[in-house]
Amino acid sequence: MSFYAYNTATGVPVFNKTLDYEDITELYNYLNGISIVRDNNLPITNQFIELDENNRQIIDLISSGDTRLLHKILLRVNSAEKQSLLLDALTNSELNDLNAAIKQRQYANSLAALSSLLEMELNNDIIEAIHTRDDLIEYRAKQPEKIFQNWIEKNIWTLGIDYIQKYSVRKIGINTTSDMIMESTDGFIDLIELKRPNVPIFSYDSSHKCYYPSSDLSLVIGQCMHYLKKLDEYNLILEKENKFKVLRPRIKIIIGRTHEFKDDQCEALRMLNSNLTHIQVISFDHLLTCGQTIMSYYKQ
């Protein structure tokens, strides 16, 4: 074992390497095995570090275990202590600023993930492409719709203050299930119906020069009307089985993209929503915009 070399000019030993944890352990064991004779009739000891009985018992206990595990645990303790000291040192104002910075970072990462997923969907390779990104692992699924559902479930905050939690159940009738059942801030349930971002929202009527709901959107609107009917029929059963509060539920349809909408398309979507009862159509770009607005509240 050699951690140092002699300087040939001065004869002074100099370390030739930086000691890591394993080196220190090896050096300690080596020095501990050297017999040392003390003067003045003091007892002979071969211990490099003197220990009292309590500490010796602790060392004996530790020696029978995995020192690497102990090292990791101690590092964690030190880390926790550092965090505690940091929190104690910060004022309430500084803590609020720190919390805002953390929230902003989390929200920014989530929105960046959604932007990446939308880009993959645009290229029609989302199922394969998502497996090349470790930062998107929590959203992986075997179906594109489920990928985006995973994102929404983990980022309900992008829907604003409308909802406080998602229920794990999906059944709203004997043979009817919804994509997501949400609890609104007033304690009642609403539904989220999800379609893919590449689904067109409108078709164009060239003869009348106006936009109208695409066949895909018309289909999901009809589906949501069926859900509202089932919720009316089974509201007592749902309330009893799931402790839901069912009263005039609303349904949000998340579908398509609007980032390239022209003014007349935006007006058409506004008119469509104003004429739907208990149903609202929003796009994935709407989620991005809402998320960016909420994130701006946390800016320093």
| Domains of the chain, start order | 4-88 (no CATH), 96-296 (3.40.91)
Instruction: Output the CA–CA distances (angstroms, integers) from residue 254 to 105, 140, 171, 179, 185, in the order listed.
Output: 25, 19, 19, 11, 19
Instruction: Output the CA–CA distances (angstroms, integers) from residue 85 to 72, 80, 216, in the order listed.
Output: 20, 9, 57
Can you give the pLDDT at residue 54?
A: 65
CA dist 252 and 270 (Å) reads: 14
Can you give the pLDDT at residue 51?
A: 60
- Paired tokens of 194: 């999800």
From start to end of the chain, where are the E strands? Answer: 4-6, 13-15, 163-167, 171-173, 176-177, 180-184, 189-194, 202-205, 210-213, 251-254, 279-282
Can you give the pLDDT at residue 265?
A: 98
Can you give the pLDDT at residue 90?
A: 77
Can you give the pLDDT at residue 47?
A: 57
Three-class secondary structure of residue 152 per DSSP = helix
Can you give the pLDDT at residue 100?
A: 81
Query: Which residues are CB-neighbours of 97 under 8 A, at least 6 positions away?
Result: 300
Per-residue pLDDT tens digits of the chain, which is 300 residues long: 555 555 566 665 555 556 666 777 776 677 666 655 555 555 555 555 556 666 666 666 666 666 666 667 667 666 767 777 767 777 888 778 877 888 889 999 999 999 999 999 998 889 999 999 999 999 999 999 999 999 999 999 999 888 999 999 999 987 889 999 999 999 999 999 999 999 999 999 999 999 999 999 999 999 999 999 999 999 999 999 998 899 999 999 999 999 999 999 999 999 999 999 999 999 999 999 999 999 888 765
Can you give the pLDDT at residue 40?
A: 56
Three-class secondary structure of residue 51 per DSSP = coil
Amino acid (one-letter) located at 52: D
- Paired tokens of 48: 């490099």
CA dist 47 and 129 (Å) reads: 60
Other CB atoms within a 10 A radius of the CB of residue 34 amount to: 9
Can you give the pLDDT at residue 32?
A: 67
What is the phi-psi region of residue 124: left when phi exceeds 0, alpha when psi lies from -120 to 50, beta otherwise? left
CA dist 23 and 140 (Å) reads: 43
Can you give the pLDDT at residue 191?
A: 96
Long-range CB contacts for residues 179-188, cutoff 8 Å, separation at least 24 = 179/145, 179/149, 180/149, 180/152, 180/153, 181/244, 182/156, 184/250, 185/161, 187/245, 188/245, 188/246, 188/247, 188/248, 188/249
Can you give the pLDDT at residue 174?
A: 79
Other CB atoms within a 10 A radius of the CB of residue 223 amount to: 15
